Amino acid sequence: MIVARTPSIRPSNDAFQERSIQFMHMSRFGPWRIKVYALVRPGRNLRPELHAAALEIPAKCLPSGARAGTRFGAAFLSIRDDPDGSMISLRWWEGVHDLRHRAFLTLPSSVTPMYDCARSGYIADIWDIPLISFERDAWVRCVGESPSIPRLRQYFEARLVSEG
């Protein structure tokens, strides 16, 4: 269940703790191809119920016509599993230069409901930034440098793995 209103979640002032970024698998939603990543504390695994709930997000958020107009049908999904509250972010490429984004938060130790952050101004957390940077660099290398002959297979094969 997705709720439009974001709860009052205070920004954390806790000391920074690294998260590992694990490429999980490729997923499909219709013609969309989606790289799925988990962002977890070292020594922890992504909860299966959060993974399953996150995989429902693309059906609710991705625009129809994955290959229509300037779209390439390429997206990536990050799932940050954290006892303090989890975050699921879906990003997709719209044309060569634009990255679209939807983010959802859960309350601590919960999977649902997911709160849509569309109006909150919330776009990413500190652990998402290396992933966004990696995906941007892979996109530029595989698509941006030659948009008339995009190398989508190479883009989908480029995967970040970072042990925290």
pLDDT tens digits for 54-113? 999 999 999 998 988 889 999 999 999 987 788 999 999 999 999 999 999 888 778 877
3-state secondary structure of 63: coil
Within a domain: residue 13? no
Domain annotation covers residue 43: yes
Enclosing domain of residue 34: 18-157
pLDDT of residue 2: 58
pLDDT tens string 99-158:
999 999 888 778 877 888 877 777 788 889 999 999 999 999 999 999 889 999 999 999
Residue 138 lies in a domain: yes
In the beta sheet, which residues pair with residue 29?
32
Whether this prediction's pTM lies above 0.75 is answered by yes
d(CA 121, CA 19): 23
Q: What is the DSSP string of 81-150?
A: --TT--EEEEEEEETTTEEEEEEEE--TT--SSEEE-TTTT----TTHHHHHHHHHHHHIIIIIT-TTS-
Question: 27 vs 2, 34, 60, CA distance in Å?
Answer: 21, 5, 15
Does residue 10 lie in a domain region? no
What is the pLDDT at residue 159?
96
CA distance 115 to 113: 6
4 inside domain:
no
Q: Which residue has the tokens 């998260």?
A: 19
The answer as to whether 1 is a domain residue is no
Q: Looking at the 3D structure of the chain, how many domains does it have?
A: 1
As beta bridge partners, residue 80 has 39, 87
Three-state SS at 153: helix
Residue 8 within any structural domain of the chain = no
Q: What count of Cα atoms within 13 Å lies in the side-chain half-sphere of residue 54? A: 32
